[in-house]
């Protein structure tokens, strides 16, 4: 995507952002961090669910309760937490190679203390992005399965007023999404040793392209990150559809996989942002029952008149497209002829 198109789409991107909700979540996170203080080890009772009503234990908060600053997923299950309490009452230890479930919490405390407790506090206390990148390379970080949760801790810290790396990270955690937006923004992934370093390079480039610079305006950063998420949202195929240099895009796959919904909605989303740039985007669905009258023209009922069906010749998708092109070509030709006449008069 070219920078000017990115900027134009960003300017016209209109999300419904309730800034008060974001500020409320940041206030909660700031209080949470302040209450931890300068401890070096994160308490196990804040990591493991204490009872059925406990929704504030950290892994659950990062995954389920706090969703405004991006959706962080540990994987396909809670196993990505590495250490957690199962609904049946047993304790899960993902660091064990064989037996992973234990009845006694003391059986998992050693692995928790060795791999998680210090890691969490290092991320919270990090004073620079460079320090975070080094933590990412550590054995404890690499062994942790649900890395999106760890990345979200760094992102939340980057949103606090007291941090040294404020507004330096975007709220996107999936590897695939990061690589997708890096491609859109022409970010060289080979220059990045860690995923958060790639995140930082992406966001730095995005701020330049959106021309918000080092703005301290929270709303500007909310809008930019939501826009980046919109571009990388594979459920709408926006990345592919937004490329105006490609005249034809074919999506294929098994029936019932959401192609019709995602493509048609992706086009609508782009047209809602920039109706001029994407006004000629056209969606055609080819399926076994697709006929000549769907593509070219056909007689179809349009209502009932005097008790009888009212039949009319209705243009198909392709014929409608050709008519629009013909009208536009006439307009272009008239414009060219006017220019030629003006040049001849001056001559």
Chosen domain end from 191, 212, 232: 232
Per DSSP, the three-state class of 1 is: coil
Q: Find the Cα–Cα–Cα–Cα dihedral 80, 85, 89, 90, rounded to 10°.
A: 70
Residue 217: the pLDDT is 86
- 226 vs 8, 42, 58, 320, CA distance in Å? 15, 31, 24, 35
The average pLDDT across 221-231 equals 87
Domain count, the chain: 2
- Does one domain contain both 191 and 333? no
Residue-wise pLDDT tens digits, 17-49: 889 999 999 999 999 999 999 999 999 999 999
Q: What is the pLDDT, as a whole number, of residue 300?
A: 84
**Do the domain assignments include residue 280?**
no
Q: Which of 4-8, 27-31, 89-93, 277-281 is the least confident region?
A: 277-281
- Report helix, strand and coil shares of the chain as percent, to nearest 5: 55, 5, 40
324 or 138: which carries more pLDDT confidence? 138
Rounded to whole angstroms, the Cα distance separating 68 from 58 reads 16
User: Which of the four pLDDT bands, split at 50, 70 and 90, describes residue 236?
Assistant: very low
Averaged pLDDT for residues 271-291: 63
Percent of the chain with pLDDT over 90: 49
The whole-angstrom separation of Cα 323 and Cα 131 is 60
Residues 204 and 61 in one domain: yes
Q: 227 is written with which tokens?
A: 């826009």
Beta strands in the chain (DSSP E): 83-85, 91-93, 101-102, 297-305, 308-315
Q: How many Å separate Cα 264 from the centre of its chain?
A: 19
Binning pLDDT at 50, 70 and 90, where does residue 93 land? very high
Cβ atoms within 10 Å, residue 210:
22
Same domain for 300 and 209: no
> 182 or 305: whose pLDDT is higher?
182
Q: Which of 194-208, 256-270, 310-324 has the lowest mean pLDDT?
A: 256-270
User: Rounded CA gap, 105 and 239, in Å?
Assistant: 47
Q: What is the Cα–Cα distance from 335 to 333, expressed in whole angstroms?
A: 5
CA distance 89 to 101: 10
Which domain does 89 fall in, by range? 3-232
More confident residue, 288 or 88: 88
Residue 79 contacts residue 92 (beta carbons within 8 Å): yes
Are 210 and 294 in the same domain? no
pLDDT at 286: 64
| Residues 127-156, mean pLDDT to the nearest whole number | 97
139 lies in some domain: yes
Lowest mean pLDDT among 200-204, 282-286, 328-332: 282-286
In a domain, 252, yes or no: no
DSSP 111-129: HHIIIIIHHHHHHHH--SH
Same domain, 167 and 89: yes
Cβ atoms < 10 Å from Cβ of 320: 14
In a domain, 262, yes or no: no
pTM over 0.95: no
Q: Is residue 259 a part of any domain in this protein?
A: no
What is residue 83's predicted lDDT score, i.e. its pLDDT? 95
Mean pLDDT of 43-67: 91
> And the tokens for 237?
């195929």
Position 143 in a domain: yes
Q: Are residues 59 and 155 in the same domain?
A: yes
pLDDT tops 70 at residue 311 = yes
Q: Are 160 and 91 in contact (CB under 8 A)?
A: no
Going by pLDDT thresholds of 50, 70 and 90, the confidence category of residue 307 is confident
Does the residue 254 lie in any domain?
no
Mark which of 207, 232, 257 sits at the end of a domain: 232
Please say whether the beta carbons of 196 and 172 come within 8 A: no
Question: What size, in residues, is the chain?
Answer: 347
Averaged pLDDT, 252-277: 62
Does the structure show a pLDDT above 60 at 245? no
State the average pLDDT over residues 283-299. Answer: 76
Which residue, 111, 103, 169, 165, is CA-closest to 140?
A: 111
Together in a domain, 139 and 31:
yes
Select from 216, 232, 248 the last residue of a domain.
232
What would the pLDDT profile of 63-75 be if each residue is shown by its tens digit?
999 999 998 999 8
Torsion, Cα 337 343 345 347, to 10 degrees, reads -150
Q: Which residues does 325 contact at the CB level (< 8 Å), separation at least 6?
A: none
The per-residue pLDDT for 271 is: 62
One domain, residues 226 and 294 = no
Choose the weakest-confidence range: 99-113, 161-175, 217-231, 260-274: 260-274
Instruction: Tell me: pLDDT of 247 over 60.
Output: yes
How many CB atoms are closer than 10 A to CB 151? 26
pLDDT for the residue numbered 234? 53
- Note whether 205 and 330 are same-domain residues: no
The answer on 83 and 159 residing in a single domain is: yes
Judge whether 251 lies within some domain.
no
pLDDT over 90 at 115, yes or no: yes
Q: What is the mean pLDDT of residues 233-252?
A: 57
Name the average pLDDT for the chain. Answer: 85
């Amino acid at each position: 995507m070219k920078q000017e198109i990115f900027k134009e789409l960003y300017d016209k991107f209109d999300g419904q952002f309730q800034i008060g909700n974001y500020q409320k979540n940041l206030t909660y996170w700031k209080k949470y961090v302040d209450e931890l203080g300068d401890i070096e080890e994160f308490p196990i009772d804040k990591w493991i669910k204490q009872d059925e009503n406990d929704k504030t234990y950290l892994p659950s908060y990062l995954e389920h309760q706090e969703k405004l600053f991006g959706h962080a997923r540990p994987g396909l299950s809670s196993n990505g937490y590495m250490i957690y309490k199962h609904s049946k009452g047993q304790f899960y230890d993902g660091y064990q190679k064989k037996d992973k479930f234990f009845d006694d919490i003391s059986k998992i405390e050693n692995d928790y203390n060795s791999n998680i407790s210090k890691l969490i506090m290092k991320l919270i206390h990090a004073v620079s992005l460079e320090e975070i990148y080094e933590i990412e390379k550590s054995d404890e970080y690499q062994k942790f399965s649900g890395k999106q949760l760890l990345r979200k801790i760094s992102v939340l810290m980057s949103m606090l007023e007291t941090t040294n790396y404020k507004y330096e990270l975007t709220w996107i955690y999936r590897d695939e999404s990061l690589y997708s937006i890096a491609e859109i923004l022409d970010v060289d992934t080979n220059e990045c040793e860690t995923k958060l370093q790639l995140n930082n390079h992406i966001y730095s480039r995005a701020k330049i392209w959106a021309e918000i610079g080092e703005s301290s305006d929270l709303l500007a950063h909310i809008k930019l990150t939501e826009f980046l998420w919109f571009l990388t949202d594979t459920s709408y195929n926006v990345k592919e559809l937004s490329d105006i240099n490609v005249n034809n895009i074919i999506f294929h796959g098994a029936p019932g996989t959401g192609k019709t919904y995602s493509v048609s909605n992706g086009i609508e989303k782009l047209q809602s942002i920039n109706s001029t740039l994407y006004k000629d985007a056209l969606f055609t669905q080819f399926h076994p029952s697709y006929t000549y009258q769907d593509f070219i023209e056909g007689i179809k009922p349009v209502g009932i008149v005097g008790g009888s069906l009212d039949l009319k010749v209705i243009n198909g998708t392709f014929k409608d497209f050709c008519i629009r092109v013909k009208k536009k070509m006439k307009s272009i030709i008239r414009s060219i002829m006017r220019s030629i006449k003006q040049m001849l008069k001056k001559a």
